[in-house]
C-alpha cells in the first residue's frame, strides 16, 4: 500500500491552510492582549488622540474615535500587506 501524497489527497493542503489561519489568529490575539496590557504606558493613548470626536450633553454623551480608527486601519493594512508578501 502506498503512502498518501499531496496529489492524491487535496484535503491535506486545505488542512494546512486552515492550520496556518488558526495560528495567525492566535498570534493576533496574543499581540492584541500584549497591546492592551501595556496600552496604559504608551505615550499615545488610543481612544484619546487628537481628532477623536467626543460630544457631551446634559444627559448624554457621544464618542467616536475617528483618529484611532484611522491609525488602527493603517497598522492592520501594513501588517496584512507584509503577511501576504
One domain for residues 83 and 50: yes
Residues 6 or more apart whose CB falls under 8 angstroms from that of 67 comprise 49, 50, 51, 52
- Find the mean pLDDT for residues 14-29: 81
One domain for residues 56 and 36: no
- Find the mean pLDDT for residues 18-30: 87
Residue 83 has pLDDT above 90, yes or no: no
Structure confidence by residue, pLDDT tens digits, 26-75: 998 998 888 778 877 777 777 788 889 999 999 999 999 999 899 989 98
Tell me the residue range of the domain where 82 lies. Answer: 45-85
One domain for residues 2 and 34: yes
Is the separation of the CB atoms in 49 and 71 below 8 Å?
yes
Amino acid at each position: 500500500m502506498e503512502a498518501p501524497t499531496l496529489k492524491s489527497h487535496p484535503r491535506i493542503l486545505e488542512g494546512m491552510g486552515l492550520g496556518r489561519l488558526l495560528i495567525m489568529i492566535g498570534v493576533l490575539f496574543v499581540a492584541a492582549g500584549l497591546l492592551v496590557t501595556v496600552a496604559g504606558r504608551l505615550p499615545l493613548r488610543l481612544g484619546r488622540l487628537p481628532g477623536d470626536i467626543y460630544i457631551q450633553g446634559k444627559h448624554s454623551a457621544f464618542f467616536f474615535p475617528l483618529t484611532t480608527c484611522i491609525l488602527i486601519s493603517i497598522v492592520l493594512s501594513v501588517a496584512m500587506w507584509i503577511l501576504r508578501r
